[in-house]
Structure 1
Amino acid sequence: EKSILNPNAIVQNSVICDNVEIEENRKIIKYSAIS
């Protein structure tokens, strides 16, 4: 959970962080599918 790792970023830019996390998850899913 990013809120544990970087609470300030979550508080200041929750929407941005959520979008980044979604993008990272998509990349992980794509790499997992390829592997």
Structure 2
Amino acid sequence: MQFESWQAFWHMGGYAFYVWTSFGVTFLAMGLIV
């Protein structure tokens, strides 16, 4: 997946909240397990 700019990358086409929340929850859970 390619983005035109960093702003487009961070915005994720309108799905940024869902995408970054998912990443955060995943890394938090993995951090607690390990």
Query: What is the TM-score of this pair, normalised by structure 2?
Result: 0.62
TM-score, with structure 1 as normaliser: 0.60
* Higher share of residues assigned helix: 1
What is the identity percentage for the equivalent residue pairs of Structure 1 and Structure 2?
Answer: 7
CA RMSD of aligned residues (A): 2.2
| Residue of structure 2 in register with 1:27 after alignment | 26
Unmatched tracts of structure 2, length 5 or more: none
How many residues are paired up?
29
Gaps of 5+ in 1: none
Please identify runs of 4+ aligned residues in structure 1 that moved more than 4 A: none
